Structure 1
Amino acid sequence: MQLLNTTIKNNVLQTMAEILDRDRDAIIAANKKDLDAFQLEDQALFQRLIVNNKKVDEMITAIESVRQQNDPVGREISNRTLSNGLNVVNTTAPFGTILIIYESRPDVTIEAAVLAFKANNKILLKGGKEAYHSNVILEQCWHEALTTHGLSKAWIKLLHLKREETQAFLKNPSEPLDLIVPRGGERLINFVKTHATCAVLVSGRGNNFLYVSENADWSKAVNVIINAKTDKISGCNALDKVLINKNLPEYDLKLSMLKQKLEQHNVEIVVDTKVGKVLSEEDIISDDAIWKEEFLALKLLIGEVNSLEEAVTLINTHSGKHSAAIITENKDEALSFMQQVDSAAVYHNASTRFTDGGQMGVGAELAISTDKLHHRGPLGLNQLVTNKYYVFGDGHVRV
């Protein structure tokens, strides 16, 4: 695709925001068809599917936020003139064509496309069948915005492929692909990794851990745990596991207090054998595989550890490498935890629910990357470019 100037891109985004506002009733009506057809018992998936006036407002805000950001394309990273006279300039450049595969959330059809387009990338959107009607009308809105300014609809395209067709497309794309972002659970990620023939940037699952140190402020710990677990169970930044140091003062009493607080929020509690000696009425885990499970539900596993080192080992062994938190009043201990835990975001005395582009000051996000190349954490506008070297000479030859 050709390089577009910033003004044209921003004009398309301004028009798109106006179209969403104008057509909000039709968008919500299309979404209702998807909601009425939803037959799964997965409440997290259902929650992600909902589009209401508030969600449309958030879509418009996301577009406006990206429109106001500086164009990430063509920025000079470095500029050096070598001793031989060659001028070597490194600049940011678009990826080319990005494919994102995602489940449920129609707002991804907005956020992924606005980011890719502003960064001068073509984007192919493979949404889940449960959001079919919602995604179709949102694609229509994008196409109207593009054609209004004389641009091809090919910039933003919704793919309607079944699982077998998606597999075939990944193995032998009908058009060049430069990057694939699978945004979903472990099964989706493994499917894409198995069949893709180009670069894959993993937007990992959650399965986030929180460690309560013996040096924790208990009030802070409880507030953070409740928020991280109950604020939005469908979020990949929601909390799944809590590890509590057995040397915490009044350990038994505080475990009972936490249990009562979680029950007030209708959270199902599962415990390891050690915690089970205190919370004897709770279900004890029967399969260690649960440590690797992302719940996406009002469910929390509580385990006991002897030390910071044991907590770090458990987290690095089982977590989704998304987000992890420590509750402690000891800053040196917090820093040690944050340096050792292998996660995209690590927190001291704060909820994992902040692992979000908007909350972290990045703005709208394509996904939360748990990969280490080419970027880790929220994939915002500035992360949807690669780099390119421009080398200027005057008849130079290498000798």
Structure 2
Amino acid sequence: MNKYIEEMGKKAKIASQKLLTLDTKIKNNALRAIADEIIEKKEEIKAANKIDLENGKKAGLSFALLDRMELTDARIEGMAQSLREIAAFNDPIGEILTGWNHKNGMSIAKKRVPLGVIGMIYESRPNVTIDAAGLCLKSSNAVILRGSENAINSNIYLSRLFSEVGKKVGIPENSVQLIEKPERELVKEMITLNEYIDVLIPRGGKGLKKFMIENATIPVIETGAGVCHVFVDESADIEMALPIIENAKTQRPSTCNSIETVLVHKNIASEILPKLTDMLIKDKVELRYSKEALEIVGNRSDVKLAQDEDFGAEYLDMVMSLKLVDNVEEAICYINEHGTHHSDSIITKNIQNAEKFLNEVDSAAVYLNASTRFSDGGEFGFGGEIGISTQKLHARGPMGVRELTTTKYVIRGNGQIRE
């Protein structure tokens, strides 16, 4: 075991014990103070981020990765606002979920408690450093962060700012730690640190997910991979469908809740496809259509023929595939087979088809007549998120402070023994 990682684990475990008794006021004061410091140090944050962006451009990173990495004034202000919102939430720790009395007189209560030590691995987006640290602090969890090496300067600045301000306000030392060394072998060491880390939360694409499944020896909450869809049903209002698709694809294409594929009912295809194609070409989206869809728009030179690998691809870029389906049943089967159980939407006026889609699509978030871009902790009122869980155990969908807790039973007696 690498001593650098092992020491971080030991320190995190000690911090997690101290966090158990930390007063809510101290946590909230720290979150507000850190938010203020983020605004105060906005230019320094951007300076650190600029180094990462310049290095990324030299390394030939894609537009999508550079966009995810960039910290603009608005995104920095968003980080601070997120911490203020988290501070305003009720503290989940210690909440009694239910309770009853045993026939022998004992009282039994189910109580909300922290997970303990969280190992967080994330790609590209440095704002996750603040979101994850803030949510973990509010839920009284210690956290070990491992961000992308492409954003190392941004992540180091933000994690140190969080820890330094937090320490002044009374947050236990080492509650938030960042792996500052870039060696990839350290990730493999981190995800086998069973003695100290209780839960791993990877936030990234299919490659990270596959790596975690094959190598982690600690329980994993899968998040991040987003192959999202919009299905335009036969009865859809086209004037509603067009801006929803445009928003879901172009508003911020590098995020996991942007759509990658549009499914169109064959009976409405000739009506919507010309308008949809013109709109997205104007938006500079690279379009990849199935053979049947391409025939309807006239085999245009600015639309490519989709290949098999385009269906199920996570582009995270201004690229979108489209295919025709015969009915809502085919759309549901396609999404369940090719999606990542993240976020999917149906555009329809048909109540039966809407309910069928919402009930049978096996995703963490399903939408009727709305953009998938709302799958976000901030939009759901959580103040932020540590990730969007695409698995089924414990937590699913955007993960806020409550999803970073577990429960235990507290039983109080006065001498009872079992006969």
Q: TM-score range by the shorter chain?
A: over 0.9
Task: Check whether the contact 1:13–1:145 (CA below 8 A) recurs between aligned residues.
Answer: no
CA distance in 2, matches of 1:12, 1:347: 36
Q: CA deviation at 1:151?
A: 3.5
CA distance in 2, matches of 1:150, 1:242: 50
The reply on whether 1:99 has 2:80 as its aligned counterpart is no
Task: Check whether the contact 1:203–1:370 (CA below 8 A) recurs between aligned residues.
Answer: yes
CA distance in 2, matches of 1:169, 1:358: 29
- For residue 269 of structure 1, the aligned residue among 281, 287, 312 is 287
Q: CA deviation at 1:360?
A: 1.8
| Partner residue, 1:223 | 243
Moved beyond 4 Å, runs of 4+: none
| Partner residue, 2:405 | 385
| Partner residue, 1:74 | 94
Q: Alpha carbon RMSD of aligned pairs, Å?
A: 1.3
The reply on whether 1:284 has 2:302 as its aligned counterpart is no
CA distance in 1, matches of 2:152, 2:134: 19
Task: Check whether the contact 1:179–1:198 (CA below 8 A) recurs between aligned residues.
Answer: yes
The reply on whether 1:209 has 2:229 as its aligned counterpart is yes
Task: Check whether the contact 1:204–1:320 (CA below 8 A) recurs between aligned residues.
Answer: no
Mapping of residues 80-159 of structure 1, within 5 Å:
80-159=100-179
Task: Check whether the contact 2:27–2:171 (CA below 8 A) recurs between aligned residues.
Answer: no
Q: CA deviation at 1:362?
A: 2.4
Which string of whole-angstrom CA distances, capped at 9 and with x for unpartnered residues, describes residues 40-83 of structure 1? Answer: 33111101111122222111101100011110100000110021
CA distance in 1, matches of 2:84, 2:184: 34
CA distance in 1, matches of 2:352, 2:100: 41
Please, which moves more after superposition, 363-372 or 13-22? 13-22
Q: CA deviation at 1:357?
A: 1.1
Look up the SS of the partner of 2:155 in the other structure. Answer: helix
Q: CA deviation at 1:189?
A: 1.1
Look up the SS of the partner of 1:19 in the other structure. Answer: helix
| Partner residue, 2:326 | 306
Q: For 2:89, give the aligned amino acid.
A: Q
| Partner residue, 1:19 | 37
Q: CA deviation at 1:150?
A: 3.8
| Partner residue, 1:163 | 184
Which string of whole-angstrom CA distances, capped at 9 and with x for unpartnered residues, describes residues 254-292 of structure 1? Answer: 211211111110111111122122132232223x23212
CA distance in 1, matches of 2:399, 2:163: 24
Look up the SS of the partner of 1:171 in the other structure. Answer: coil
Which string of whole-angstrom CA distances, capped at 9 and with x for unpartnered residues, describes residues 264-322 of structure 1? Answer: 10111111122122132232223x23212111111111101101101100000000110
Give aligned-pair identity as a percent.
Answer: 36
| Partner residue, 2:13 | none
Q: CA deviation at 1:165?
A: 2.1
Q: What TM-score do you get using the length of structure 1 for normalisation?
A: 0.96
CA distance in 2, matches of 1:190, 1:49: 22
Task: Check whether the contact 1:89–1:390 (CA below 8 A) recurs between aligned residues.
Answer: yes
Please, which moves more after superposition, 31-40 or 60-69? 31-40
| Partner residue, 1:28 | 46
Task: Check whether the contact 1:216–1:329 (CA below 8 A) recurs between aligned residues.
Answer: yes
Size of the alignment, in residue pairs? 395
CA distance in 2, matches of 1:204, 1:118: 22
Look up the SS of the partner of 2:377 in the other structure. Answer: coil
Look up the SS of the partner of 2:174 in the other structure. Answer: helix
Task: Check whether the contact 2:293–2:324 (CA below 8 A) recurs between aligned residues.
Answer: yes
Unpaired runs of at least 5, structure 1:
none
The reply on whether 1:364 has 2:405 as its aligned counterpart is no
CA distance in 1, matches of 2:171, 2:337: 48
CA distance in 2, matches of 1:201, 1:95: 12
CA distance in 1, matches of 2:191, 2:85: 32
| Partner residue, 2:11 | none
Look up the SS of the partner of 1:80 in the other structure. Answer: strand
